[in-house]
Structure 1
Amino acid sequence: MKETIALSVNHLQKYFYVPNKFQVLKDLSFEVKKGEFLSLIGKSGSGKSTLLYILSTMDTDYQGELFINNVLLTGKKQNELAAFRNSNIGFVFQFHYLLPEFSVIDNVMLPALKLKTKSYDEIRAKAMENLNLLGLKEQAEKQANKLSGGQQQRVAIARALINDPAIIMGDEPTGNLDSKNTQIVFEIFKELAKERGQTIIAVTHDDDFAANCDRIIELQDGVLLK
């Protein structure tokens, strides 16, 4: 059964200490299956962004356990976590964070060049494959800042996929897009989950986006509602 689980947390708790001690996450336990497209929702201040930050291994100041691909990440050193993130987690944010002076394909290649497990030619071929998947093959040599906002967000997804991550984590991935491009990005995520078995966890304020995911996890005052 374990091989079907992409991520699990056990009795996760998180406190803030400034200006006063405050418990932001309260004894959370849940699992995310491989190939599941999950949305994380809740009102501002509910703890959802804090939870995503912990799940992405960026925040290590918590109690409980975090497993990704059956690897216990709690307690690992920062350099170990950085290496794990680059190999196993793809990120898509509200803002695409592309390097504007770089070409589209160079932006997509960057995380794989950093990982250094494949040759330049292999990485470039994989990047072109991802751009083709996202309908951007013809834009590969353009400067990133010459693309529309929706196209730039699709480039960010292609970049997130370059190292074949276990999980893509999205922080408001459609929050900066109009309704048409929001639907395009949603359909891309849906296809990635269904056709490629990609696990996706996305924080969103978009009720329609959340309602069409495989599952919703809702937080209220640091507690799981469902």
Structure 2
Amino acid sequence: MNAALSAKGLNKYFHEPETFQVLKDVGFEIKKEEFVAIVGKSGSGKSTLLYLLSTMDTDYKGSITINGTTVTGLSQNELSRFRNEHIGFVFQFHYLLPEFSVLDNVMLPALKLGKKSKEQVETNAMELLTLLDIKGHEMKKASKISGGQQQRVAIARALINEPAIIMGDEPTGNLDSKNTKVVFDIFRQLAKERGQTIIAVTHDDEFAANCDRIIEMVDGKIMT
């Protein structure tokens, strides 16, 4: 089983203000350790697709399998646990808790999962902050570091539970070109050295061009 993620026959409708089909029979596979960009104009369905793949949106037809588990049809509680254990998220906005320290922000998902002791989680969090060049800032409040640093903390938080797949929704959308390159290089390193699969929705042509593969969406379909 070499697929990290498999999507089959995905159809998705929005019903407000009137019924509109946003995804039309979308299907593809993503291999383990692959770094994939999903691109397309606004309204093409790429962000909607990512929310289906992330298991946050369950209102669709078709099936999604992640890491050998078919997630379609699981209960919200099962999906919440599956997400926390198998999927890491990096959004355009970092969604850090501003009054918490950098270290606490990174540790939170692992403490919630409850598989390791607090000491072990803290050790792992510090290793990630070192990897992402944030060591020395761990006790600062998340609101007191730069935007580029905040995004790296968000990546560390996404990695704390050692997810099989990292999903990014415009992960460099708020960053300047220098920090965009830093984040891209981090993702590339994670795929190569840690064996993680990365799926990123992006508007950045240069970012996409450097990925292993581009999935282009037009009007709710994948262009082949």
Q: TM-score, normalization: structure 1?
A: 0.98
Q: Deviations over 1:94-114 (max 9, x none)?
A: 011111111111110000010
For residue 13 of structure 2, the aligned residue among 6, 15, 20 is 15
One-letter amino acid of the counterpart of residue 219, structure 1:
M
- The alpha-carbon deviation at position 15 of structure 1 amounts to 1.0
- SS for the counterpart of 2:28 is strand
Superposed counterparts of 1:38-53, under 5 Å: 38-53=36-51
Aligned-partner Cα distance in 1 for 2:138–2:76 = 34
- SS for the counterpart of 2:189 is helix
Aligned-partner Cα distance in 2 for 1:198–1:72 = 19
Q: Deviations over 1:170-189 (max 9, x none)?
A: 00000000000000000000
- SS for the counterpart of 1:137 is coil
Matched, 1:150 2:148: yes
Q: Deviations over 1:79-100 (max 9, x none)?
A: 1100100111101000111111
Matched, 1:120 2:118: yes
For residue 31 of structure 2, the aligned residue among 13, 30, 33 is 33
Superposed counterparts of 1:89-128, under 5 Å: 89-128=87-126
- The alpha-carbon deviation at position 140 of structure 1 amounts to 1.2
> Residue 190 of structure 2 corresponds to which residue in structure 1?
192
Aligned-partner Cα distance in 2 for 1:53–1:141 = 32
One-letter amino acid of the counterpart of residue 91, structure 1:
F
- Name the stretch that deviates more: 10-19 or 62-71: 10-19
- The alpha-carbon deviation at position 20 of structure 1 amounts to 1.8
Aligned-partner Cα distance in 2 for 1:66–1:157 = 24
Q: Which runs of 5+ in 1 are unaligned?
A: none
- The alpha-carbon deviation at position 138 of structure 1 amounts to 1.3
Q: Matched residues, percent identical?
A: 70
Q: Which runs of 5+ in 2 are unaligned?
A: none
* Structure 1 segments of 4+ aligned residues over 3 angstroms from their partners: none
Say what the alpha-carbon RMSD is for the aligned residues: 0.7
Q: TM-score, normalization: structure 2?
A: 0.99
